[in-house]
Each structure stands twice: as C-alpha cells, then as structure tokens.
A = this chain, B = another copy of it.
Amino acid sequence: MKTYLNPSKEKWEQLTKRPELKAQDLNELVASIFQTVEKLGDAGVRGYTTRFDQVEIFDPKVTSQEIDQACDLVPQKLKDAIETAEKNIRRFHTTQAITETTVETQNGVKCWRETRAIEKVGLYIPGGTAPLFSTVLMLGIPAQIAGCDRIVLCTPPSKDGSINPAILFAAQLVGITEIYKVGGVQAIAALAQGTESIPKVDKIFGPGNQYVTAAKSFALTKGVAIDMPAGPSEVLVIADETSDPSFVAADLLSQAEHGADSQVILLSTSEIMLNRVQTEIEVQLASLPRMEIAIDALNNSSFIQLETLQECLELSNKYAPEHLILAFDSAKEFITQITNAGSVFIGKYSCESAGDYASGTNHTLPTNGYARNYSGVSLDSFIKKITFQELSASGIQTLGPAIEIMAEAEQLIAHKNAVSIRLKALANA
C-alpha cells in the first residue's frame, strides 16, 4: 500500500481517483449472446450453459423437490443465522414503506402520489466457489415487501447441475419459488428478452463479473431497468488515536479479500495509528485463505494521514465510498458532514461484515464513486411512484386562466384549448 502524509489539497483529486479499469469491450460478445437467446429462446440459453457452465440442463427451472432437498442439506446453525439476518433485513426494509398524504395545492386541486410495485423483477445471484446466499436476502426481501408480482431468480448451476443449497434455502425463506439454473450473459439476456420458460422482466438486480455487468448495461437498450452501474467493491475507514488498530485492520482486510480489484483506503489524523494498522494487517493477513487476493487489493490501497477529522470527512466525500467506517469515538458528531457514501458504519463495533450480512441495511450499494448520484438498493428500488391529480369544477376555474396563459406563451394552443373548452362549458352551465 502507499502512505501519504498530509498531502496538499491539490493532490486530493489524484488520491480519490479510482484506478482505470481495463476497458475490455465485451459489447460485441454480449450483443451476439442476446441475439441468439432472442432467436432460439431456451435452446439458445441451453447451448451457452453447456458451453460456459459445462453442464447440460434440459429444464432450467428448479423443482420444489430440489428446494426441499436443499433445505435438508443446510446445517441448522446456518439456517438459524440466515433467519436472524432475514428478520433484521425485513424489519429495516419494512419501515421504508411510506404512504404520502394528499396535498390540496390550491382550492379544488388535489395532488398525491401512490406507490406500485414493479411487476416483474429478475434477481441475479452469481455462482462460483462462494455461494452468495446473503445477496438472495438483500434483493429478495425488499422485492417481496414491495409486492412484486413475479420475482425470478437466476443463478448458474455447478458442473453437476445443482445449485448451492444455502442459496435455495434463502430463496424459499423469502418466498421466491421461481428459480432458474441459468447464469452469465445468457441469464441476463433471458431476463431482458424472455424465453419460453424465463419471463421478460421489468428490472434486473444483482452483482456479477464483468460479463454480467456488461450484459446488464446492454439490457438497458432493451427497455429493462437495472439496479445500478457496477464497479469493484470498496471501503474507506477513518481512524484517530481512539481507534482500535486490530479492528481497523480486520475491516480493511474483509474488503481486500473480495477481489484483487477491491479498493481499500484508510484515513487517519494519527501517523502512529497508520503504522499500527499496517503492522496488524501483516499479522492477520498470514492466516487468511484468500491471502493472495487480499495482497493484490492492498497493493492498490492508500493510507493517508490528514490534519483533522474534518479533513478526513472532506476527502471521503470527494471519494464517495461504497462503505464508510467511522472507527473512532466521536463518530456520531460527524454524521451531518457525510454527503457521499453508500452505507456508513458508526463506531468501533460497527464492522462492515455486520452490514454485509445481518444488521438490516442492504449490501447492494453504489461503487466506483456512484455514491455521489445513486442510492443503494432499498424498498424504493422495487417500486414506482405514480402521481395523481384531481381538479374539481372550481379547481379548474381557479387554476385554468394561469394554465391558458402559460400554454399560450409556450405556443401550445391545443394545451390551452383543453382548459378553455372546460371553462366555457362551466360558464354556460
């Protein structure tokens, strides 16, 4: 990692830049898979599954027997843990449902908003060695609270054609029963366009590798919405002399083990703390199974000493981290200064893993600086808000003349007429 002591503000721009991603253009590959799936439907999907996942799947839909069997395979301790997380995530996301009141903007003119679930949503859960059942909870629970009509889950099969039992357990726990053994670009292509068995959805959620990410961007051109643009995961920790260096090191490592491209930044007012965290990292790193990935990520990371906590917050806002940990005693005093972040962890016992799994907040968050202009996934991500207005006769009589004047000034005379014709009818009534 690189250490910077009191860098001048001119250098901040450089320090808050993400490393350039290798701009591998996957568009052509993605477009051709979309085209094949559009043309051949299930058969097209099947071909790619055989090719990429090395298994022949004739009926991609997971049966209820498979779900039952999987649930039997999950150890009770893991089931209990997942149920604890499920309860907390449900509790927090349930409070995000709000009913807005009707506003009478002027006499006889009532305006309000109502919430409707997005009807069909597709959740993508990556496969591979680490089964991300936690993401099933993070996407499935708000989808289910929102009341989406159809919640479709796609996840790649392993070489023996099975799905990790914990994924199926988490899915049935949150009430998802429509699960397809389909992964990669072909899964996104199927969700975006529909096949004989997989429905075309309105919005696609979920993490994935660069291929899945490229496919989700491409899905936008098919009229489908996506949760948010994706990038490597990242954490920024702010520490002062009250922080615990072993806790800070553990948090930085838990981010670093995600992937070689993970971003890890430590800001501190104390140079001694930076050194102590570095020493702690070396100690803890040694016993990690994913040590090599973590070392790669740490090579890109920065340790930065700044004069004041205020400055640390300022730099953090410029960086706009996905995860922000305020690992010092006076953390709460600095909350109002946070302007750009995905999810924030307050105080020394609030580790990122808590939010990743079980505190109740969502772990699908904006990366790559997108915390400047996007929120993380929440109940809001699964609904639309429709506006309504109701004008009474007296409402249009009071407001109508202003509309006529404005419409005429914009040279939209039919817009004006729609008011005039009503005012005339009322005058003659």
Contacts from A to B (Cβ < 8 Å): 77-78, 80-82, 84-85, 87-89, 91-92, 95-96, 98, 100-101, 103, 105-106, 109, 111, 113-114, 116, 118-119, 129-134, 166, 202-203, 220, 223-225, 229, 244, 246-247, 250-251, 253-254, 256-258, 284, 288-290, 294, 332, 335, 338-362, 368-376, 378, 380, 383-393, 395-396, 399, 401-403, 405-407, 409-419, 421-422, 425
Contact = CB atoms under 8 A, between A and B. Distances in A.
B388 A384 contact: no
A87 B399 CA distance: 12
B421 A250 contact: yes
A370 B224 CA distance: 8
Nearest to A352: B418
Contacts of A92: 103, 105, 111
28 contacts: A91-B105, A92-B103, A96-B100, A109-B354, A111-B359, A118-B372, A133-B406, A202-B372, A225-B370, A225-B374, A257-B412, A290-B413, A341-B386, A342-B386, A344-B387, A346-B389, A348-B422, A349-B391, A349-B395, A349-B396, A353-B419, A354-B396, A356-B403, A359-B389, A360-B389, A375-B385, A375-B386, A380-B380
Given A202-B373, A250-B414, A412-B257, A358 B406 contact: yes
A3 to B, nearest CB: 21
Contacts of A409: 78, 81, 131, 133, 166
Contacts of A415: 254, 257, 352-353, 356-357
B399 A84 contact: yes
Q: Which 10 A-B pairs have the closest CB atoms?
A: A105-B360, A88-B105, A81-B402, A225-B373, A81-B405, A346-B390, A250-B418, A361-B387, A257-B414, A202-B373
A109 B347 CA distance: 12
Integer count of this chain's copies in the complex: 2
Say whether chain A's binding surface is mostly helix, strand, loop, or mixed: mixed
B349 A422 contact: yes
A317 to B, nearest CB: 9
Given A119-B339, A223-B369, A375-B384, A413 B81 contact: no
A253 B419 CA distance: 12
B95 A418 contact: no
Contact of A373 (B98, B109, B384): B384
Contact of A414 (B78, B288, B359): B288
A421 B358 contact: no
A82 B375 CA distance: 33
Contact of A109 (B220, B359, B369): B359
**Most B CB within 10 A of own CB, among A78, A103, A244, A376:** A103
Contacts of A250: 414, 417-418, 421-422
A384 B335 CA distance: 15
B414 A294 contact: yes
A245 to B, nearest CB: 11
A78 B408 CA distance: 10
A402 B80 contact: yes
Contacts of A109: 88, 354, 359-360
A325 to B, nearest CB: 10
A359 B202 contact: no
A200 to B, nearest CB: 11
B389 A361 contact: yes
A25 to B, nearest CB: 12
A114 B335 contact: yes
Given A88-B109, A361-B111, A256 B414 contact: yes
